[in-house]
Amino acid sequence: MLFLRPQRLHLAILMAVERPSKSAQKRAAMAIRALADELVELKPGLLAKVIDNEDVDHAVREAQAINSFGALRRQKQYIARLLRDADVDRIRMALQALQADDTQDKKRFRAAERLRDAMLKADASTRSELLTQAGLETTDALRDALQRHATSNDARARKNASRSVFRVLYEALALTQSQSQSREDNKDNR
């Protein structure tokens, strides 16, 4: 039988229990701190979609109202401490979903701007080709907005009509994307 001195026995027991290294613990703590920073930067409407823990929600809302740099830093540290006990993976997944939605909205916005600019410069036959390429159909609202843009003499009226064209195109692109997404979801469920 092997006899070890108490210090060595203690060391052998510690080595047998697998713990993350100090560097790994530090990386995890920094990741939670970065998550706390992200939560403080969120808009209040989006915050409710991400956090379900009342203590964390209250602490984040308090941090958003703080103007002092030192107090804000301490509040973020407190939020990070609260996050250690919360479901961090679920919060990260919710944040990623929000960021993905935001990215899709930005892409849709740019696509609607490019399509609007091309349609305002094009003639009637080219407009229908542009819409077909984008997977859209001509609607009465779009025809009206394009007609208002073409017939208006005032710069302000042309700008308003241009905005109307953009809104119609943006909504049509959003509808098209949501329909294609629902079709993909239905295929995946089969």
- The pairs formed by 20-27 with CB atoms below 8 angstroms and a separation of 24 or more are none
Mean pLDDT per 10-residue run, the chain (190 residues)? 54 64 90 94 86 91 94 95 91 89 88 90 83 81 86 88 90 82 65
Q: What is the pLDDT of residue 189?
A: 62
CB 63 within 8 A of CB 82: no
Q: What is the pLDDT of residue 1?
A: 45
Q: What is the pLDDT of residue 101?
A: 84
Rounded to whole angstroms, the Cα distance separating 10 from 50 reads 43
21, with CB counted inside 10 A (0-12, 13-18, 19+), is exposed
